Amino acid sequence: MKPALNGYQKGHCFYCSRKMLLKEADVDHFFSWILKDRRLMSDADGVRNLVLSCKKCNRGEGGKFASTPSDRLVSRLYARNSWLVESHHPLRETILLQMGVNDEARRSFLRHRQQIARDALIHTWEPLERYDDQSF
């Protein structure tokens, strides 16, 4: 799964854009896995919800843990998923099946997931440091 996700991220953390080695990257649930555990988001393991993260953002002090990613990060996830669809990446069909076949369906899908996360998790998260030298 890491190589497929890395096609978009090009060796950078999805959240802070820090350069990282693929072998050291975590596959992270963008909307926390705990939502699946609480039976609020049964499809949390779907590829549209998985990103590569550095350990600092995923696990470190100040890391995401069970917080809702910020609006900026949700927009980035939408852009990543759109890129996968438009580039005819091998994950294209999976994204379309999981989120919808048109742009508005995919936007609505993410807005709904974000609201589930906000209602359940309360806290919103942004990485402590951002390295904006890398745009995906």
pLDDT tens across 114-130, in order?
999 999 998 999 998 77
Mean pLDDT of 82-87: 90
Q: Indicate the pTM of the whole model.
A: 0.89
Domain-wise residue ranges, the chain: 2-125
The pLDDT confidence band at residue 1, using thresholds 50, 70 and 90, is: confident
**Taking the alpha carbons of 113, 67, 23, 7 in that order, is the dihedral positive or negative?**
positive
DSSP secondary structure letter of residue 25:
P
3-state secondary structure of 68: strand
**CA-CA distance, 38 to 92, in Å (whole number)?**
28
Instruction: Dump pLDDT digits (tens) for 4-38.
Output: 889 889 999 999 999 999 999 999 999 999 999 99
Q: Which long-range contacts (CB under 8 A, 24 or more apart) does 105-110 make?
A: 106/78, 106/81, 106/82, 107/78, 109/48, 110/74, 110/77, 110/78, 110/81
Mean pLDDT of 44-73: 92
Nearest to 95 by CA among 82, 108, 76: 82
Instruction: Dump pLDDT digits (tens) for 22-31.
Output: 999 999 999 9
**Residues 14, 70: contact at Cβ < 8 Å?**
no
